[in-house]
Amino acid sequence: MSRERIKRELPPVQEHIDKLRKVVEDGNYYGALQMYKSISARYVTAQRFSEALDILFSGACIELEHGLVNCGADLALLFVDTLVKAKSPCNDETLDRIRCMFKLFPRVPVPPHLVDVSDDEDVQNLQESLGEARSRVENLTSFLRAAIKWSAEFGGPSTGYPELHAMLADYLYTECPELDMVRISRHYVRAEDPEKFASMLINFMGRCYPGEDDLAIARAVLMYLSMGNMKDANFMMDEIKRQAETKNPELSESDLIRFISYLLETLQRDALPLFNMLRVKFKSCIDREPLLNELLDEIAERFFGVQRKNPLQGMFGDIFKMMG
């Protein structure tokens, strides 16, 4: 059948939306998912992308409203794939739809890990809850990563639309059973909201293991600096110090925090010898995490023109950061 004939034979999209809503409400969730996919594909084939997007958006919202996270996420991801096929620009209307779908992803408190290990039912319930939480996070992450990539390719900033990074970072921090602060921080530094990022780190300081707090702060500041963002790096450090005065006064005594404070002062002037001297003096605390040295290499290149030993390191690093 020719594309033009398909275009003529496709009915008004609202008919499908109403029909499929009823299928979901009748409880045939999996059947509805397959129908959403097949019907939207016909509109895509006919290059009626706007109508395909209407169907997929409606389907994702309805499935998520009914608690079908896997089905809703599947359609949300297909929505973004269709944006790419249509070469749809990153604009407020489409971002509003992405925001709407994001808000429908459930936020379910994960029970504390401290359970009676002698009670098989408690252990099983905890394992099930953790598995469901990981699945929700994976689904949401796939959707927003695709949206970030789409926004970067079709009119947004080259690193992706900041609010999308903020949404993903927030969900990862509040919903993921195993916190990956490196991954969370990589999105927050691209979210253009250092105040919110600082608040998250202050919250993290109250729940992390000893020795993780200064590392998380140093990592965040160095990530900003590796992007050439001195303003937000300084804001982050000032805000953390201000709030830590009462909540965690011993933080300022950390060697790593002292190093970061000296580094911020050094980068305000052309002082490569001092930069190198600081790296040697504070080597033991910098070596606590290999990523810190990688970020310092990027900072040396950006601020002082020092070429890295492996010129591909930065290029591949940027690719992996976008993937995260």
Q: Please give the pLDDT value at position 124.
A: 79
Q: Please give the pLDDT value at position 311.
A: 52
Q: Please give the pLDDT value at position 89.
A: 97
DSSP-assigned letters across all residues of 232-243:
HHHHHHHHHHHH
Domain assignment of residue 314, yes or no: yes
Q: Please give the pLDDT value at position 241.
A: 83
Domain assignment of residue 86, yes or no: no
Structurally, the chain folds into a number of domains equal to 1
pTM of the model: 0.89
Domain assignment of residue 278, yes or no: yes
Q: Please give the pLDDT value at position 320.
A: 41
Domain assignment of residue 302, yes or no: yes
Domain that holds residue 287: 212-323
Q: Please give the pLDDT value at position 125.
A: 78
Residue type, 322: M
Q: Please give the pLDDT value at position 38.
A: 96
pLDDT tens, the chain, 324 aa long: 445 554 557 888 999 999 999 999 999 999 999 999 999 999 999 999 999 999 999 999 999 999 999 999 999 999 999 999 999 999 999 999 999 999 999 998 765 544 445 567 777 777 888 888 999 999 999 999 999 999 999 999 999 999 999 999 999 999 998 889 999 999 999 999 999 999 999 889 888 887 888 999 999 999 999 999 999 999 999 988 887 776 666 676 789 999 999 999 999 988 999 999 999 999 999 999 999 999 999 999 999 999 877 655 554 345 444 445
Structure tokens at 182: 């490196």
Q: Please give the pLDDT value at position 25.
A: 92
Q: Please give the pLDDT value at position 1.
A: 46
Domain assignment of residue 88, yes or no: no
Domain assignment of residue 115, yes or no: no
Q: Please give the pLDDT value at position 2.
A: 47
Domain assignment of residue 281, yes or no: yes
Domain assignment of residue 313, yes or no: yes
Q: Please give the pLDDT value at position 126.
A: 77
Q: Please give the pLDDT value at position 280.
A: 97
Other beta carbons within 10 angstroms of residue 266's beta carbon come to 18
Q: Which phi and psi angles does 167 have, rounded to 5°?
A: -60, -45
> What's 224's domain CATH number?
1.25.40.10
Compute CA 233 distance to the chain's CA centroid, rounded to the nearest angstrom.
Answer: 19
Per-residue buried b or exposed e for 88-125, using 16+ beta carbons within 10 Å of the residue's own CB: bebeeebbebbeebbebbeeeeeeeeeeeeeeeeeeee
CA dihedral 56, 57, 58, 60 (to 10 degrees): 80
